[in-house]
Chain A
């Protein structure tokens, strides 16, 4: 077998291209779609006619995470823990989990649960919004719980709306789809207050996974506003690891560390760094620790979830994923589940900043008062925590 040089070069070029764009971005709310794909639900088939069980202790519960890994010490892992708690509360067997390898696996993985007659299928991450909508519509007897998939955008027929007109009412059209949305900007706002209070240089940073991740962008937008509420002259420099959905965005810790080191070298005055990039972001925290500046974790209390960076984690902008996923499962079992968009924010105590642990002495009474005041104002609904282009990343 002879391989010609041209063939080898072609192969190498292909390898580069493949690794560069190992995933394409389809069906996400933040990306402008030039030509809408013909049918976002292509290939979705309904399982056998399924009715919700009367005895929920026999329920079969499945979890589909986003691409990459279940054990990210972060978003996927704690959403799954929520499903575990929910299953325990229902008396059901421990939930199964499946981790898609890439975006083309989403439908296949959900279909597997559907075909096996699962009763509750939890899908984690905004990327899964479209497939979850399709399957929920096709299988009215199965409950679907989506994390970070709001707003559910459907046509008046209940199909995913690729034009983002969102004319349909998901709550009545797909009454078996419970979507859990968090107001990340509020958590980011509180983190911004902490960051600005700690910063001596007047420059703080934030690193997000991808500009296409609306929750990430909301965190950082809130963070900026929160920091400015403490120090109007503060310089907040956000950066995003990538602008697509490749593995670099959320699953490349080594890449995240190199990115953050680069960032901290070119922005040498930054002395507090907020990570909003999942597992990639754990590398961001590594870089912050290595440079002896403060890091702020995301989604869960990363002081507990990622102890390797305890040296520098001050706090984490938290959304109570575990509790809300668990509560959603319990509500389904109890017959009180609310379909459609369920928004969680300060009003239902579902966001906040984590405990300061061994950094508690750094947080002054003044900062604590500001945090409490901001949280109270969020509860009252009088505080703006996100600009008008909320969730829209930089181009």
Chain B
């Protein structure tokens, strides 16, 4: 076996490909839980996008919604920690304070989504502008409130802790690392896969899904068969807030235990890209988010644990900035080339106006 690998590695040029494959096989399984963890806020944000856009409402306010719910989760946790902060359960490190904070974070996201729904559905405002307002307002308001609250350096409510699957399972050959990837996670990251699969099935196999897609593709036709377009859109946009809320909460209550101004750092926009790369489907969005965070993690690993041998020599001659740019370059290439012509829902971004009864 070793001889075979050595032989493969020494083939000119093609050998480099084998060496890269060998490196990836060695490096990806151990860091796979980290990949899913950093994909979580992006994938949840993308699910919010799918919910909205499948019913015909563009939502670029995901970034701001995430930021607002991250802030709310943190601040409610801070307020409740002294009274409801203990004791944390063994599993996930749950405390009453954290659970209430999570609910509050989701609540705020639902409220902001409701605002977006009202502006873009009832008021028929430009949906891009509405989303932009949410982004700017969320950044300003949370930043200002944070600068007031953080002055007293309050104790945070802590964060959800990750589940430790038994090593007997994670050490299984071939599939063990996948178990580690999906189960060595905190509750929000772990729930991601459940939400993705459920939403995929609902969207393409349920009555709700069919109506949602009909409203997003051809609202007038949907209306003629008796679907309440306005109601469907409201319901979907507001329900999408659930995912943006989870995305924000995962940042402030699972990945870290604190809030800082602008902590979403563009993840809400990357989520939109993931949604498009994933062709407006939940599973596609998850895969796109995973792809993005994989290349982020692999780019990092390449810089602090470079492969040895020929491949290492080649890589070390590349400018290291390239590793930082890797996830973005890969996303652009995939967006432009592999995915091909993406087709958004036909009525995406168009306000719907009922025809007056004659």
Seen from chain A, the residues whose Cβ lies within 8 Å of a Cβ on chain B are 1-3, 5, 8-9, 11-13, 15-20, 22, 68-73, 99, 101, 237, 239-240, 242-244, 247-248, 251-255, 257-259, 261-263, 265-267, 279, 282-283, 286, 290, 305, 307-308, 394-395
Contacts known (A16-B331, A99-B147, A258-B297); A5 close to B344, Cβ less than 8 A: yes
* B253 → A minimal CB distance (Å): 11
B147/A262 in contact, CB under 8 A = no
CB-CB under 8 A for A257 and B256, given A68-B262, A244-B321, A266-B27: yes
- Encoded as 1 (CB less than 8 Å from any A CB) or 0, chain B from 108 to 138 comes to 0000000000000000001000000000000
Q: Does B205 contact A (CB under 8 A)?
A: no
- Closest B residue to A283 using CB positions: B256
A239 and B153 contact, CB distance less than 8 A: no
Q: Does B170 contact A (CB under 8 A)?
A: no
User: B251, A73: Cβ atoms under 8 Å?
Assistant: no
Classify the interface of chain A: helix, strand, loop or mixed.
helix
CA distance A262 to B297 in the complex (A): 7
Contacts of B283 in A (CB 8 A): none
Q: Label chain B's interface by main secondary structure.
A: helix
Q: Is B343 in contact with chain A by the CB < 8 A criterion?
A: yes
Contact between A279 and B260 (Cβ–Cβ < 8 Å)?
yes
List the B residue with the shortest CB-CB distance to A263.
B304
For the complex formed, measure the closest distance between the CB of A81 and the CB atoms of chain B, giving whole angstroms.
11
Within 8 A of A (CB), among B72-128: 126
Q: Which 4 A-B pairs have the closest CB atoms?
A: A19-B266, A71-B150, A15-B269, A254-B255
Beyond A68-B262, A70-B147, A255-B38, whether A12 also contacts B301 by CB under 8 A is: no
Asked if B206 is at the interface of the complex by the 8 Å CB criterion, the answer is no
Query: Shortest Cβ distance from B325 into chain A, in angstroms?
Result: 7
A-B contact pairs, 12 of them (CB 8 A): A12-B277, A16-B331, A16-B332, A18-B266, A19-B269, A20-B325, A71-B260, A251-B263, A261-B31, A266-B27, A279-B260, A307-B155
B42 to chain A, nearest CB (A): 11
User: B257–A308 contact, CB under 8 A?
Assistant: yes
Task: Tell me if A9 and B335 are in contact (CB < 8 A).
Answer: yes
Q: How far is the CB of A309 from chain B (nearest CB, A)?
A: 10
Interchain CB contact (< 8 A) of A15 among B58, B273, B305, B320? B273
Q: Are A265 and B324 in contact (CB under 8 A)?
A: no
* Size of interface on B: residues with Cβ below 8 Å to A: 61
**Given A9-B336, A237-B304, A254-B38: 17 more A-B contacts, CB < 8 Å:** A2-B349, A3-B348, A3-B349, A5-B342, A5-B343, A5-B344, A9-B276, A15-B270, A16-B331, A18-B266, A19-B267, A251-B260, A258-B297, A261-B31, A261-B37, A308-B158, A395-B319
Q: Which residues of A contact B301 (CB under 8 A)?
A: 262, 266
Are A254 and B305 touching (Cβ within 8 A)? no
| CB of B319, distance to nearest CB on chain A (Å) | 7
Q: Contact flags (1/0) for B312-344 with A, using CB distance below 8 Å?
A: 000000011100110010011001100001111
B258 within 8 A of A: yes
Q: Which residues of chain A come closer than 8 Å to B155, judged between CB atoms?
A: 307
Contacts of A395 in B (CB 8 A): 319-320
Given known contacts A19-B265, A254-B255, A71 and B126 CB-to-CB distance under 8 angstroms? no
CB atoms of B263 and A9 under 8 A apart: no
> Does B272 belong to the interface (CB within 8 Å)?
yes
Q: Which of B31, B146, B276, B341 contacts A12 (CB 8 A)?
A: B276
B156 interface contact, C-beta 8 A: yes
Query: B305 to chain A: which residues have CB within 8 Å?
Result: 266-267
CB–CB B255/A13 < 8 A:
no
* Shortest Cβ gap from B135 to chain A (Å): 11
The distance in angstroms between the C-alpha atoms of A193 and B260, with both chains bound, is 33
Instruction: Please give the distance in Å from A2's CB to the nearest CB on chain B.
Output: 7
The chain A residue sitting closest to B149, CB to CB, is: A71
Closest to A20 in B: B328
Nearest CB on A from B185, distance (A): 12
Report if B151 contacts A (CB, 8 A).
yes
Q: Report how far A394 CA is from B324 CA in the complex, Å.
A: 14
Q: When the two chains form their complex, are residues A99 and B270 in contact, meaning their CB atoms are under 8 A apart?
A: no
B350 at the interface (CB under 8 A from A): yes
Q: Which residues of B contact A290 (CB under 8 A)?
A: 162
Q: Are A265 and B276 in contact (CB-based, < 8 A)?
A: no
> In the complex, what's the smallest C-beta–C-beta distance from A276 to chain B, in angstroms?
15
